[in-house]
């Protein structure tokens, strides 16, 4: 259930093992392909996509990055991932492009994706034949009798509540991100994560002519209060360093995203498996959400391959624990990056000094910088079995 990156990649991986699936999605194809989301792929995630035939546009328009800048106190410091790790990098490639690639690949292979489905529901997950019911885009009621159902239906989906006695661990942050997509040539070679007294700012990009920028704002921030002029002047202030400025251009899109850490488990009940945002959310500061979702799916594809083709359910039994170990590492890293770089409302001078001390430490100690680089570029990827 769900045609986000998790549901679509799972369907693609299952097909390579000869396992049939249908992806049921309540939004239209246009909506799924236009949704603006994150954009950083860990090295292992990019490799995974290439290894399953999804590397063509990624290699053509993805932008490989060997580090990030951390900025604080008016100065900018480079964290060089390549030299801190064994040459690891990340690739800036928008999630929306990953989704387009996956939809195109599934449809070209004759895969079934039911967009614009309504009345989607799941039953009998504790039995050997769970049922997925929905009304298709033409208004015809459908019912699919399945071996398993994968709840890849995002944070607001209907599958997570079907798991009885699920444990939930949650933290909401007292700020949000105002995201801006602009037709402006990025004035930086690498992403810039900037801590400023007025709040955090992030400089990212989508192409050599499109910038993706974020500003820390209040969780209940009103978009209409942010004119393009106000956005640019706030960005200039939060990224200011001597002799450099943010290149401005027409703003194409803006939106406000809340910041939340959320982990739920177990990620399985009977024949229902959760993957991606349906089970966990990280704040975007660590750029981990998409990578975690795709990593869950590799573990799940391996487990379903063993269960459905060989009748061996050990990997399926280990699925939740295997995923949650990585999820908690990413949850800690994202929380750490978020706490180090944002200015919480009401934070006092003591807290500010701790943040600055931590930032100075990360940018001056090889051990600390290596820890950041290792987490940012990704953990050892789950290996796809074929």
SS3 319: helix
Interaction partner, residue 212 (ligand APR, ligand PHB, none; CB < 5-8 Å by kind): ligand PHB
**Where does 124-265 show beta strands of DSSP type E?**
131-135, 141-145, 149-151, 167-182, 191-194, 201-207, 210-217, 251-265
**Which listed residue (196, 212, 238, 342) binds ligand PHB by CB under 6 A?**
212
Q: Which of 120, 213, 274, 299 touches ligand APR (CB under 6 A)?
A: 120
Q: Is 376 a catalytic residue?
A: yes
Shortest CA distance to 376 belongs to which of 343, 325, 336, 339? 336
Q: Which stretch binds ligand APR (CB under 6 A): 162-170, 248-256, 271-279, 319-327?
A: 271-279
204 binds ligand PHB (CB under 6 A): yes
Q: Alpha helices, DSSP H only, in 178-313?
A: 228-239, 289-310
> Per CB under 6 A, which region of 36-44, 138-146, 239-247, 303-311 contacts ligand PHB?
36-44
154 lines the binding site for ligand APR (CB under 6 A): yes
Task: Scan residues 51-110 and list those touching ligand APR (CB under 6 A).
Answer: 95
Contact 373/362 with Cβ under 8 angstroms? no
Q: Is 284 a catalytic residue?
A: yes
**How many residues interact with ligand APR (rule CB under 6 A)?**
27
Give me the catalytic one of 284, 319, 342, 381: 284
Residues 334 and 288: beta-carbon distance below 8 Å: yes
Angle at 130 between CA 124 and CA 136, to 5 degrees: 110
**Residue 289 engages ligand APR in binding (rule: CB under 6 A):** yes
Is 193 part of the annotated catalytic residue set? yes
The correct pick among 26, 96, 285, 377 for binding ligand PHB (CB under 6 A) is 285
- For 198, the token pair is 């007025």
The residue from 13, 58, 152, 384 that contacts ligand APR (CB under 6 A) is 152
CB 308 within 8 A of CB 21: no
Read off the tokens for 208: 């050599």
Phi, psi dihedrals of residue 81, rounded to the nearest 5°: -60, -40
Please answer whether residues 151 and 323 qualify as being in contact, where contact means their C-beta atoms are separated by less than 8 angstroms: no
Closest Cα partner for 88 from 45, 127, 120? 45
Angle between helices 366-377 and 349-362 (to 10 degrees): 90
C-beta of 196 vs 268, nearer to ligand APR: 268
CB atoms within 10 A of CB 293: 26
Q: Which is nearer to ligand APR, 27 or 329 (CB)?
A: 27
Asked if residue 284 binds ligand PHB (CB under 6 A), the reply is yes
Question: How many other β-carbons are positioned within 10 Å of the β-carbon of residue 151?
Answer: 28
Shortest gap between Cβ of 58 and ligand APR (angstroms)?
A: 15
Interacting residues with ligand PHB (CB under 6 A): 38-40, 191, 202, 204, 212, 284-285, 287
Active site residues: 65, 193, 284, 288, 376
Interacting residues with ligand APR (CB under 6 A): 1-7, 24-27, 32, 37-38, 95, 120, 152-154, 157-158, 276-278, 289-290, 293
């Amino acid at each position: 259930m769900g045609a986000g990156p998790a549901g679509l990649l799972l369907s693609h991986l299952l097909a390579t093992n000869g396992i049939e699936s249908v992806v049921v999605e309540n939004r239209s194809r246009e909506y799924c392909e236009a949704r603006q989301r994150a954009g950083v792929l860990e090295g292992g995630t990019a490799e995974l996509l290439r290894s399953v035939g999804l590397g063509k546009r990624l290699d053509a328009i993805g932008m490989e990055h060997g580090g990030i800048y951390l900025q604080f106190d008016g100065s900018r410091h480079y964290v060089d991932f390549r030299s801190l790790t064994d040459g690891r990098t990340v690739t800036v490639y928008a999630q929306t492009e990953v989704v387009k690639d996956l939809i195109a690949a599934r449809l070209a292979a004759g895969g079934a994706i039911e967009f614009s489905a309504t009345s989607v529901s799941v039953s009998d997950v504790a039995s050997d034949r769970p049922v997925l019911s929905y009304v298709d885009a033409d208004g015809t009621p459908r019912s699919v009798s399945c071996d398993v159902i994968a709840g890849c239906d995002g944070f607001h989906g209907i599958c997570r509540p079907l798991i009885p006695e699920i444990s939930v661990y949650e933290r909401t942050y007292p700020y949000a991100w105002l995201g801006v997509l602009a037709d402006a040539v990025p004035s930086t070679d690498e992403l810039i994560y900037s801590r400023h007294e007025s709040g955090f700012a992030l400089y990212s990009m989508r192409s050599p002519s499109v910038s993706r920028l974020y500003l820390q704002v209040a969780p209940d921030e009103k978009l209409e209060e942010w004119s393009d002029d106000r956005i640019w002047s706030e960005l200039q202030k939060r990224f200011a360093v001597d002799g450099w400025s943010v290149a401005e251009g027409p703003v194409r899109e803006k939106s406000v995203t809340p910041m939340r850490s959320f982990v739920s488990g177990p990620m399985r009940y009977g024949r229902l498996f959760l993957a991606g945002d349906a089970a966990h959310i990280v704040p975007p500061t660590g750029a981990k959400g998409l990578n975690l979702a795709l990593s869950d799916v590799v573990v799940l594809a391996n487990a379903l391959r063993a269960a459905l083709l060989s009748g061996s359910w050990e990997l399926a039994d280990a699925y939740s624990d295997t995923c949650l170990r990585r999820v908690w590492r990413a949850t800690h890293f994202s929380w750490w990056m978020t706490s180090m770089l944002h200015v919480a409302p009401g934070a006092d001078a003591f807290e500010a000094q701790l943040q600055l001390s931590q930032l100075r430490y990360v940018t001056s100690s090889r051990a600390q910088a290596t820890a950041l680089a290792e987490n940012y570029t990704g953990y050892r990827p789950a290996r796809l079995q074929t």
